[in-house]
Structure 1
Amino acid sequence: MNKEQLERMQLGQGFIAALDQSGGSTPKALKSYGIDESAYSNNEEMFDVVHEMRTRIIKSPEFKAEGILGAILFENTMDRKIDGKYTADYLWEEKHIVPFLKVDQGLADEEDGVQLMKPIKGLDDLLKRAKLRHVFGTKMRSVINSANEVGIRKIVKQQFEFARIILSYGLIPILEPEVTISISDKKEAETILLAAIHEELKTIKDTDHIMFKLSIPTVDDLYADLMKAPKVLRIVALSGGYSRDEANEKLARNHGLIASFSRALVEGLTFQQTDDVFNKHLENAIKAIKTASIA
């Protein structure tokens, strides 16, 4: 465990950049960036293009430690290089930004109002490779679509089961049981989720640390007590489909909650922009998200 990275994630001011779109979400991310599917003919070419996009973001002079604490990578990105260095090494050595890895492999069909994670094939090998690539932690996502207590408890139980495996490899897991922002019973779902998390937190060793990535809650400061738990290193928020301005406004009302935005971070960035325009857009986004994160 890198103690400097641990301290940075625990005490640093800023947010985590989510650069981990994968599989089915990649074409949509590229289209938003101004590149349609005619620009590539297979997955290998698609991932070449998306790595170029991520490289441009990471190498931007505005993508720096003053605003960004960490970055979440897709497996394919972790295994690629930027200027001759593996991406995680480039992030830490050149930018002083802590690298994380998305480890889940998508969602199962909905049952009991939730979507569990699909089985993570080859998880042990992936975690070994993450350690070899000097990754600090991981992230895994599942989705809650209704305030169904049975389903929510299943999601939390599954997240913690994987968290214990990840911890055994010396990595810090980010648990992401996302509550869909558009559901009518979001407030109730979040109340059930919080209670289930507190219960499962008892299964984590006192000497271990975990993180959470959660939807911005309907009730402001809902997660304030959870943040104080000694085993909880940090709680970050996903934008969940909100625009950047709306996500920032809601985030700023939740003290101690910091961003881990994806779409809201890259909103407005396009392939066609000059570097000056691109960097200015990114600078404005990072400043706004950081301000909301430290409010």
Structure 2
Amino acid sequence: MKTTSLFACVTALLIILCSRASNGQLSPTFYAQSCPVALTIVRIAVLQAVAKEKRMAASLLRLHFHDCFVNGCDGSILLDDTSTFTGEKTAGPNANSVRGYEVIDTIKSRLEAVCGGVVSCADIVTIAARDSVVLLGGPSWIVQLGRRDSTTASLSGANSNLPSPFSDLSTLISAFQAQGLSTKDMIALSGAHTIGQARCTTFRSRVFNDTNIDSAFATSVQANCPSNGGDGNLSPLDLVTPNFFDNTYYKNLRSQKGLLHSDQELFNGGSADGLVTTYSTNPITFFSDFAAAMVNMGNISPLTGTSGQVRTNCRKVN
């Protein structure tokens, strides 16, 4: 099947799928009257950011994930520390790692100029994640909207809720179940690692110590991640097609070429092996399941109605 036909089939399926997946409190047309240009403004800004740096697509996708796993998709990760407030940015999984804050700032300032006080930072992060995936060739889905922004954040939640790159399979399953996500969601969402890069500190122990790793792959990665030093050196999570959203991540796992220990745990003789095999051979199924899982993740404990606020500056409460 030609790529364009594949994407067309997936998109048609996802329109049906995601329309049925509505949270009930959220709506894809939430800004249709109050800010009809909202999605266009976000899409253009993401396009500009990704055109400048391909890696930013993965960063914006990860930003959404790290937001939603701490007290829900409420924009709490965007809050800066102050003299009286400690947010989530300095948490272990986020510090010197999570990126894209400036892109969100740009989008917010453009939206405020047109629709002041209308579009939440939490929704901006959610839309930007979808648009980032699409820009690198991945599936699209209908984004549910209407989240409001938190006035608090949780450093402890960021340190405890976000799965580690050193996690085993059971720990990964538990971390996602704690957020109301299934094992299938977890395996599909892990496919986000088909794009983006990781720091040497997150995979050094794997490429030097793990036994379930292709030896040639380990050697090639060690060249940029020595046993000592180079902690901040980067390596693509998918060495084959690092800037294209596809199912190569799962093919890599079947060849024992997962970069992170937690990646390879998805194909290591456990309960996730079957679905990894399916995704490695059927990109349509992966795209469909990934999109559905993104909708599910975006529905984690949103603030709606009069809860929270719509921040005018995503870095601080009003």
Q: Which band: TM-score by shorter chain?
A: under 0.3
- Which has the bigger relative contact order, CA under 8 A and spacing at least 6? 2
Greater Cα radius of gyration, structure 1 or 2? 2
Structure having the higher strand fraction is 1
